[in-house]
Chain A
């Protein structure tokens, strides 16, 4: 079943008198358990697409179905609820709360869905453990390396058992070794837990971890094809 289905999605920004078509007639489907990379130069509309998919922004036209629900006419709070339950975000700049422990950062999504404190703590601990961060629960972001911070962010994205993870250049601020580590983690999540992953990246090396690459240019989808076996970073078992 399709987790994401967009039909003729457009986004127009009004800048003074001129209108900018950031996204023009994008129709796509992403099935449950897919691992998609989105590429394209800056200004190609891929960020706009990600914002709409992530329910951070609403499209000007077209239709967006997430998990079978029409997201188009939801208000702010309904969108917040969807983000809370269905979507985990991983950002380039990690976006962890400063002066807040890793544990409390991971607890954050559960704070907003009324999860009782005891369960909150337990699930956050488990998520951090799964990311190999056992023993660092009480470290603040500035006491962690970039790779570790990104793993905290992934733990936060996973902790509410969201079926979809949106990663916006997750390796952009990391060195090559950490990048590979993070990507291997993401691949593992996709393969073993069946979590759908949509990843935005500039780097073909990173895109090669995925199974399907969608390219944007000038607000349009210009190519959408599976990654060839020969080019895959992680071979099928």
Chain B
């Protein structure tokens, strides 16, 4: 039996003799592997971006919005009715076992002034529950407490964008800012969250105690009104239970009969995002599947060239057989040749794929992530393609009759 290094030497020599042909054959594999890696990178990049956005909103979130108001037969759309109250939020916290944290929100926009700087932003009055609900943490200072909510203290937490635009590089904690001319003490700064899924700057916000917003900044049409309630379920598998419990509780509290329209809606953000992530993943896989077709075509190119090569080298095969090459000696020679083509093509394809995804993200701005798994996968796939499509020509070569092969012209 011939040794592998000797076979490898023979195969490499054969590939060197027909440089142009070998390069063109490899090109099929190079493009195939490159395309698979790039497409997987695009897919992974997109779904990773969505996961990031999901994490920034907070996980296992439900948002309860008031229903629409109807005036003179004209329905005004979601959130136009003012039906949710602070008591609803407290009831949810106490009576829905699937809910872990609750944050009622009363928000509005206001002008904020510090020294000679001013900035218009959204102000959310809420309870300390907002931090766990939105998976938010503080980069400095402390959060406000239930005590602050009860006493309507004039304290606030600033988003990073506010800090940047009002304070520049100075430390805001302990400073006094004015919201609608009312002085507030800055007690903490929220950690940076970045953009939300629809491009909103989540750091351009100020959090104040709920009662402070209701009584001292915006005023309310009735006491205890909130604009929405954000709720965190205990876990992903309890989201549906939480939704059911909230629906039941609020219907009861709002005295809504079985045939009446609800005056609130519960939205499941996580579910929406998960659906989006799933569809992105499917899209990415679809792209990779299409790209792998080109890899398959590259493999057929290898088989084609190997068949030509076997025919061209019939006499060489005859000579080898006459001096004692066995079936597997001949097979191995051609399989290794095909494998060399496909593996060199695979390595070049990986380089092409990685640079392709880099170029794509630089040029089009798509987030691309080349995972080591996709590299490994497409490389071994290219090897498999070489093995598969190299076997038939090698098999054909090994079955040649030595006499016919020797006299082949």
Interface set of A (CB-CB < 8 Å, partner B): 51, 54, 56-57, 76-77, 80-81, 83-85, 89, 91, 95-100, 108-109, 111-114, 117, 156, 160
Contacts and interface: CB of A to CB of B under 8 A. Distances in A.
Contacts of B402: 56
**Among the interface residues A57, A77, A80, A114, which one has the most CB atoms of the partner chain B within 10 A?**
A80
Nearest to B322: A89
A156 B13 CA distance: 20
Contacts of B240: none
Contacts of B13: 99-100
Contacts of A117: 6
Contacts of A96: 319
Given A91-B406, A111-B6, A97 B316 contact: yes
A109 B323 contact: yes
Interface in B263-320: 315-316, 318-320
B323 A77 contact: no
B403 A51 contact: yes
Contacts of B83: none
B324 A85 contact: yes
A78 to B, nearest CB: 9
B326 A112 contact: yes
A81 B326 contact: yes
Contact of A108 (B1, B315, B323): B323
Contacts of A80: 321, 324-327
B377 interface: no
Given A56-B403, A111-B2, A112-B2, A95 B315 contact: yes
A69 to B, nearest CB: 16
B212 to A, nearest CB: 87
Contact of B326 (A51, A76, A85, A156): A76
Contacts, number: 63
Given A99-B17, A114-B2, A114-B3, A84 B323 contact: yes
Contacts of A56: 321-322, 402-403, 406
Interface in B1-15: 1-3, 6, 13
B238 interface: no
A97 to B, nearest CB: 6
Contacts of A81: 324, 326
B52 interface: no
B300 to A, nearest CB: 28
B201 interface: no
Contact of B319 (A84, A95, A113, A114): A95
B70 to A, nearest CB: 90
Nearest to A100: B13
Nearest to B14: A99
A101 to B, nearest CB: 11
A195 to B, nearest CB: 16
Contacts of A98: 316
A103 to B, nearest CB: 13
B1 A83 contact: no
Closest 5 CB pairs of A and B: A84-B324, A109-B323, A112-B324, A77-B326, A80-B326
A116 to B, nearest CB: 9
A95 to B, nearest CB: 5
Interface residues on B, range: 20 to 34
B320 A76 contact: no
Interface of B: 1-3, 6, 13, 17, 315-316, 318-327, 329, 402-403, 406
Nearest to B399: A76
Given A57-B403, A91-B406, A114-B2, A76 B327 contact: yes
Given A111-B2, A114-B1, A95 B322 contact: yes
Nearest to A99: B17
Nearest to B319: A95
A97 B326 contact: no
Given A99-B17, A109-B323, A112-B1, 11 more contacts: A56-B322, A56-B403, A56-B406, A57-B403, A89-B323, A95-B322, A100-B13, A108-B319, A112-B326, A112-B329, A117-B6
A76 B327 CA distance: 8
B20 to A, nearest CB: 16
Contacts of B316: 97-98
A156 B319 CA distance: 11
A89 to B, nearest CB: 5
29 contacts: A54-B322, A76-B327, A77-B326, A77-B327, A80-B321, A80-B324, A80-B327, A83-B324, A84-B323, A84-B324, A85-B324, A89-B322, A91-B406, A95-B318, A97-B316, A97-B319, A98-B316, A99-B13, A99-B17, A100-B13, A109-B324, A111-B2, A112-B2, A112-B324, A112-B325, A112-B326, A113-B324, A156-B323, A160-B324
Nearest to A75: B327
Contacts of A76: 326-327
B326 A83 contact: no
A226 B192 CA distance: 105
Given A77-B326, A81-B326, A114-B2, A108 B320 contact: yes
A45 B158 CA distance: 103
Nearest to A159: B323
A54 B316 CA distance: 18
Contacts of B322: 54, 56, 83, 89, 95
A100 B6 CA distance: 14
Contacts of B3: 114
A84 B323 CA distance: 5
Nearest to A80: B326
Centre residue among A96, A100, A108 by max chain B CB count within 10 A:
A108
A12 B325 CA distance: 26
B160 to A, nearest CB: 68
Contacts of A108: 319-320, 323
